[in-house]
Amino acid sequence: MEKVFERTKGLTDTEFGYCPGCHHSVLHRMVAETLEELDILDKTVGVCPVGCAVFMYEYMSCDIIEAAHGRAPAVATGVKRVIPDRIVFSYQGDGDLASIGTAEIVHAAARGENISVIFINNTTYGMTGGQMAPTTLINQKTTTCPTGRNPAVNGYPIRVCEMLATLDGPSYIERVCPTSPAGFAKTKKAIRHAFENQIAGKGFSLVEVLSNCPTHLRMTPIETYRRIDEEMTKVFPPGVFLDR
Ligand SMILES: Cc1ncc(C[n+]2csc(CCOP(=O)(O)OP(=O)(O)O)c2C)c(N)n1
Ligand code: SF4
């Protein structure tokens, strides 16, 4: 029988340990497929975050380094500068990238490091139990703001794409929204573009993916998609912020 679909070689045979319906699994697959399509699996080094994706090295068949919490852009910078013929990416949640790792991402972007960053914004700290993140929406209830995020006490959500797009260093910054077949296709295209830019030597690329955490939002995966479309996109509008 003719084979019409094959699991990408970019993934190992290890089953994903993510909660059912979590975006991490499908986003890993998109990154893995991209590496296979661009024929760069053998020369790619990924840097995993501290967060639910901490075990990314179990799932991806390229080389992976584990970085301390938030330090992935600094580790990716070091790898890329020492072995510039490698393709280097970091994969980071919002707690990792936009909280403890704020300095690292801002300075890697400002330096225009030739790396690709995949930023998973699910508005919470998934791994540690659903605490408030820098991207938590106003009035969103989390375990550390059980009555809802109150700007007078907790401040406002950080828009990473908008903030980094003010810098001269980055080459490509886009926010995507994988909640529909078209949204998934756009997300894959954006991830691919981030890697193509690095291959072309264009410098720093970041793709922010509006994502879910069905477990801590206490929603079904479908409800989380609705929340992304109806609530998250109002605060974090999808679009291309830089492409040069
Ligand atoms: C230095 C340090 N501080 C705190 C922690 C605890 N910690 C582990 S994961 C995490 C947050 C992860 O959230 P996020 O980056 O949003 O990823 P998600 O789990 O939602 O994918 C925190 C605070 C840690 N491991 N190391
Ligand atoms: S806790 Fe949330 S982010 Fe982590 S795997 Fe489960 S659904 Fe995904």
pLDDT at 1 over 90: no
Query: By alpha-carbon position, which residue is closest to atom 1 of ligand 2?
Result: 126
Q: Which residues, judged by CB distance below 6 Å to any ligand atom, belong to the binding site of ligand 1?
A: 49-53, 69, 93-96, 100, 120, 122, 124-128, 133, 213
Confidence of residue 8 (pLDDT cuts 50, 70, 90): very high
User: How many CB atoms lie under 10 A from the CB of residue 74?
Assistant: 19
Q: Which residues, judged by CB distance below 6 Å to any ligand atom, belong to the binding site of ligand 2?
A: 18-19, 22, 24, 52, 122, 126-127, 213-216
What is the reported pLDDT for 196? Answer: 98
The CA 49 to ligand 2 mean position distance, Å, reads 14
What is the reported pLDDT for 185? Answer: 98
Which class for 125: exposed (0-12), middle (13-18), buried (19 or more C-beta within 10 A)?
A: buried
What confidence tens digit (pLDDT) does each residue in 113-133 have? 999 999 999 999 999 999 999
The CA 28 to ligand 2 mean position distance, Å, reads 13
Q: Do β-strands 172-176 and 239-243 pair in parallel, antiparallel, or remain unpaired?
A: antiparallel
What is the reported pLDDT for 5? Answer: 86
Residue 177 CA to residue 206 CA, distance in Å, equals 14
List the domain boundaries for the chain: 23-243
What confidence tens digit (pLDDT) does each residue in 51-102 have? 999 999 999 999 999 999 999 999 999 999 999 999 999 999 999 999 999 9
* pLDDT (average), residues 145-168: 98
What is the reported pLDDT for 14? Answer: 97
Q: Give the CATH H-level superfamily of domain 23-243.
A: Thiamin diphosphate (ThDP)-binding fold, Pyr/PP domains (3.40.50.970)
What string of DSSP letters covers 149-210? Answer: --HHHH-----HHHHHTTSSS-SEEEEE--SSHHHHHHHHHHHHHHHHHHHTT---EEEEEE
